[in-house]
Amino acid sequence: MVIVRNIDFYSMCEHHMLPFFGKCHVAYLPDRRVIGLSKIPRVVDVFARRLQVQERLTKQVAETIRDKVRPHGVAVVMEATHLCMAMRGVEKQNSVTVTSAMLGVFHSDARTRHEFLELIRQPSNGSIAGESAILNSVGCEAE
């Protein structure tokens, strides 16, 4: 399993024309092809840079990686703060909206999905079990 986590993204809510932004975590289980790791944040960028709704953005990132790489499965989780929500009430200031898209084995196999969800929650310096490679995205400047 290849995971790139903590990809920063900035997008714009198409309902309210206000920004939403946060972190995106992407994993895939390769079959034959692999994708350059710096390309994953770029896929996120391409779809974030238009008017969006978070659910669709999450799905588009997952489907694009699925179509390009044809892996056994793709998982995408996005955690975002929406200014349109934050501005409507103080009690919602710190609310985070989480969306996910699970395709292939991440959809059909609960263990694979669980492993992914565990791995994106691990601290950066934690020891990593299994054969998964975790990469913390540091943004496009450092690619």
Residues near Zn ion (CB under 5 A): 13, 15-16, 84
Catalytic residue check, 107: no
Tell the smallest beta-carbon distance from residue 17 to Zn ion (Å): 8
Nearer to Zn ion, 14 or 118 (CB): 14
CB of 96 to Zn ion, least distance (A): 14
Residue 137 Cβ, how far from Zn ion at the closest point, in Å? 25
Instruction: Catalytic residue, from 72, 84, 107, 122: name it.
Output: 84
Rounded to a whole number, what is the distance in angstroms from the first to the last CA of the chain? 21
| CB closer to Zn ion out of 91 and 131 | 91
Q: Which helix (H) or strand (E) holds 45?
A: helix 39-48
Q: Which of 1, 2, 6 has its CA nearest to residue 136?
A: 6
Closest CA to 35 of 77, 68, 58, 67: 68
Give me the count of residues in the chain: 143
Residue 13 annotated among the catalytic residues of the structure = yes
Q: Which is nearer to Zn ion, 15 or 114 (CB)?
A: 15
64/18 Cα distance (integer angstroms): 25
SS3 label, residue 56: helix
Alpha carbons 124 and 136: distance in angstroms, whole number: 8
Angle, vertex CA 28, rays to CA 80 and CA 22, nearest 5:
10
82 is known as an active-site residue: yes
Q: Which of the residues 54, 60, 79, 115 is marked catalytic?
A: 54
**Cβ closer to Zn ion: 15 or 42?**
15
140 has catalytic annotation: no
Active site residue 114: no
Catalytic annotation, pick one of 14, 55, 118, 143? 14
84 is a catalytic site residue: yes
Catalytic residue positions, numbered: 13-16, 54, 82, 84
